Amino acid sequence: MNFNQLKYSLLFIFNFKLIFGLPVSFFGQNQVTFLHLGDSHLQPNNLSGMTRYLLQKEIGNAGRGLIFPYVLAKTNGPKDFFFTSDIIWKSAWITQHTDQTIGLTGISIQSTTTKGNMSWSTGKDTLRYPASTGTLVFEIKDCQQCTVRVNSSQKQYTNQDKLIDTMVFSIDQPTSKLSFDGATFTLLDLIELSDQNGLVYHSTGVAGATFKNYNDNPQFKKSLALLDPDYVIVSLGTNESVKKWNSVAFDMEVNKFIDQVKSSSPSSKLIIVLPNENYLKVNGNYVYNSRLDSVRTVLLSIANKRNLLYYDQQEAMGGKGCMLEWKKQGLVNEDHIHFLKKGYQRQGRLLFEYLTKMIH
């Protein structure tokens, strides 16, 4: 799909769904929903957080969207929400072999006891997100008589060996509280939304993630179907470029990923992000990673063949050589693959400009 098609597609969504107030989302009445999936570039929320902030400032703030207790999984994550718990949790990642169930977030945490409490609050930095309702996706195991509570909502279960369920709950206090008793509890996904018109920008990233990692997660399709976003932005390919390269296998995994999205959320429009260049350290020197060119070629070919939207992040950054130029400007990490916070925030602004340019 070319830029003009994107322009009219976005115009349709924003004009008809927002201006005329048509219902568009499972979780909200007059909301446009984006889901941005990726790897370590997205996990801290610096890139996607900037895009979210700017889009919601322009379109309207319909809530924070997908959140997760990264701190309880003992890994880095966004700074605009904060979680605490009175128990120890065991984490699992889509990038590692595990028998633990994992949701759309790509990371899950499982209790090490059959009773525990958790609390969280959003808007802990300069950002503020309205929230009136939440949705919890979770799993209980080895339950004879067990209970799960979030704020004023509660569910009770009897004789469940293993069950995945959802709970919708109200948010009327700055801090939300979750408790469970009588089962092993696994938190898969957690969403906070408001009843206000506007835009929701869900984002999640998993360090080291590839297309195959998302494809191999059996819960991915089910969780995506529940969210049913208007747009799915996919920022993957960097990790494939720094591993053993197989273009045929990569092509297969990308197409499989697209098929899963289209199957579970048929109305979602995909935006494929063509990743920017990176450099690998060889004999003490940083050398241009030519495999990234192959990644970009395969992604662009698939996007064109399947009539998908795409965003060329490298061109937005200035084209070939942009990584070294951004490094001179103090925006790139020493590994020449990742960015510093201000570098990711600039990338977030560039993505925002790409989307709004198409709207206007």
Q: Give the pLDDT confidence score for residue 16 in this predicted structure.
A: 45
- pLDDT one-digit tens code per residue, 298-354: 999 999 999 999 999 999 999 999 999 999 999 999 999 999 999 999 999 999 999
Q: What is residue 344's predicted lDDT score, i.e. its pLDDT?
A: 98
Contact (CB, 8 A) for 331 and 343: yes
Q: Which tens digits make up the pLDDT trace of 79-113? A: 999 999 999 999 999 999 999 999 999 999 999 99
Say if strands 198-205 and 31-38 run parallel, antiparallel, or are unpaired.
Answer: parallel
How do residues 163-209 score in pLDDT, each as one tens digit?
A: 999 999 999 998 999 999 999 999 999 999 998 889 999 999 999 99
Long-range contacts of 94-99, Cβ-Cβ distance < 8 Å, separation of 24 or more: 94/206, 94/209, 94/213, 94/214, 94/216, 94/217, 95/206, 95/207, 95/208, 95/209, 95/210, 95/213
Higher pLDDT, 160 or 14: 160
Q: Are 354 and 36 in contact (CB under 8 A)?
A: no
Contact between residue 37 and residue 235 where contact means Cβ atoms under 8 Å apart = yes
Average pLDDT over residues 198-225: 97
pTM for the model stands at: 0.91
For 305, the token pair is 């063949």
For residues 193 and 195, what is the distance between their CA atoms, to the nearest angstrom? 7
Q: What is the mean pLDDT of residues 105-122?
A: 97
pLDDT class of 122 with cuts at 50, 70, 90: confident
Domains of the chain with bracketed CATH: 1-62+199-360 (3.40.50.1110), 80-195 (2.60.120.1360)
Pairing state between β 107-111 and 184-193: antiparallel
Question: Mean pLDDT of all residues in the chain?
Answer: 91
- For 51-81, how does the pLDDT look when each residue is reduced to its tens digit (9 = 90+)? 999 999 988 999 999 999 999 999 999 999 9
For residue 232, the one-letter residue type is: V
The rounded percent of the chain whose pLDDT value lies above 90 is 84
End-to-end CA distance of the chain: 17
Under 8 Å CB-to-CB from 181, ≥6 apart: which residues?
114, 115, 146, 147
Are 265 and 234 in contact by the 8 Å Cβ rule? The answer is no
